[in-house]
Chain A
Amino acid sequence: MAHPDSQRLEAYFDNEISAPDAADIDLHVEQCAECRTQLQDLVRLRAALRQDLGHYQVPQAMRTRLARALDQESGTDSRRPSRVPFWAGAFGGACATAMVAVIAFVIFFPPPGNALVDQLVDAHLRSLMPDHLIDVESTDKHTVKPWFAGHADVSPAVGDFEQQGYRLMGGRADYVDRQRAAVIVYQHGAHLINVFSWADDRRGLPRSLTRNGYQLVFWRSGDLDYCAISDTAPDELQRLIGLLQALGELRGINPGVNRNPPG
């Protein structure tokens, strides 16, 4: 197969072509360094754009202004005295206080795990920059796993799922929540998947979510917390996680935390 032209390769990258066509390009990309470079450029460009331009959020003052404008528009101006019977006053007052407390809570105490999610997304974006993805480059799990023993505090499940379409690219040591974390990097079609793992500290994990266009899925296995993050389709990411979890169960009670961490 000849190189797909740039629009077709981009449509592949954007998940805009049919599954059989994508399979053809999968095959080509496996063998074509030139197209892999093109895809890598697209991945980096997207990561850079999302890092630089994706963080703008509506200022709180503007939200308040909009809410007021909508109140006027819908004729339910919240500043108007409410027409509640006098006997409901005390009860209503208590409710209103509770409401204010709830709103204050939501504004000032973001849900736990937010900082963790931000850190993981940042680490994922950083990894997509040139030369930040991989510390130990290997498609052999027998090379990656021992490397972690010397460079991270944890030794996560490392599997090679090339047959299933998830190519092991290597590993990296990173930090999550001020702990040393092990990251395993997989390539799936045009997408990169970072699988972070760190020692579970019993603080609970955030629910799976999407942030800046990246899907984050959390789970716990043995004494490790895991987070897989990627811009691949959710079910494709879930499939890799299924494979990793099966691997974790195979390992049984083997501890993932290195009892004698290096350094």
Chain B
Amino acid sequence: MDEKRRRFEAQVMPHLDAAFRFARWLSRSPGDADDIVQDAVLRAYRGFNALRGSDAKGWLLAIVRNCHATSVSQLRRRALVPLPEEHDVRDGHVLVADTGDPQHESILADEARTLDELIAALPQDYREVLILREIEELDYREIAGVVNVPIGTVMSRLSRARAALKKHWHLRASGDTHGTS
């Protein structure tokens, strides 16, 4: 194993699970996640000499995010289902991707839904920030780097994603207490 490969294995490959999880939550499909990660790892390897500093995790996740954005199935999906832009989402409104699919529209209102599905129903802008913070434990600065927005935007998106989930958390909790069906 040559020197570059050895350093790559030591610095980047430990974050493979993180890359896979992130790809999975971006694409909402395990099959797509496989392709995205494979693509991302090879691109990361080719560009490895450009990596400066120690933030290999954020760097790899940013590449995963790019690969996801350009992946064929994602382009197809985008054409069919435009996600709302930030200015379309008003405060107090439930953050759900407007898929035009009636089954999707009620997702956040249905207390029986799993957390899994609640996350999947968040628009990508909110979903990715939430996942990077809560699952991958990146700090605000690192998230800003991966998503390429200012830290203030990271904070407001994170806060609104949490608020959306918490709201349904409470619905579910009160449903449990009162035993409503």
Contacts and interface: CB of A to CB of B under 8 A. Distances in A.
Interface of A: 6-7, 10-11, 14-16, 41-42, 44-46, 48-50, 52-54, 56-58, 62-63, 65-66, 69-70, 73-74, 76, 130, 213
Q: Interface on chain A toward B: helix, strand, loop, or mixed SS?
A: helix
B19 to A, nearest CB: 8
A78 to B, nearest CB: 9
B129 to A, nearest CB: 12
19 contacts: A6-B163, A10-B162, A11-B140, A42-B162, A45-B162, A45-B166, A45-B169, A49-B130, A52-B114, A53-B25, A54-B21, A56-B17, A57-B20, A58-B20, A66-B16, A70-B5, A70-B8, A74-B5, A76-B2
B25 A66 contact: no
Q: Interface on chain B toward A: helix, strand, loop, or mixed SS?
A: helix
B2 A53 contact: no
B133 to A, nearest CB: 7
Contacts of A57: 17, 20
Contacts of A74: 1-2, 4-5, 45
Given A56-B24, A74-B45, A76-B1, 9 more contacts: A15-B139, A46-B134, A48-B115, A56-B20, A57-B17, A58-B37, A65-B38, A74-B1, A74-B2
A4 B8 CA distance: 43
Interface string B154-170: 01101100110110010
B162 A58 contact: no
B14 to A, nearest CB: 11
Size bracket of the B interface: 35 or more
B89 interface: no
Centre residue among A15, A66, A76, A130 by max chain B CB count within 10 A: A66
B162 A56 contact: no
B37 A62 contact: yes
Given A10-B159, A46-B134, A69 B25 contact: no
B41 interface: yes
A107 to B, nearest CB: 16
Contacts of B134: 45-46, 49-50
Nearest to A47: B134
Nearest to B133: A14
B116 interface: yes
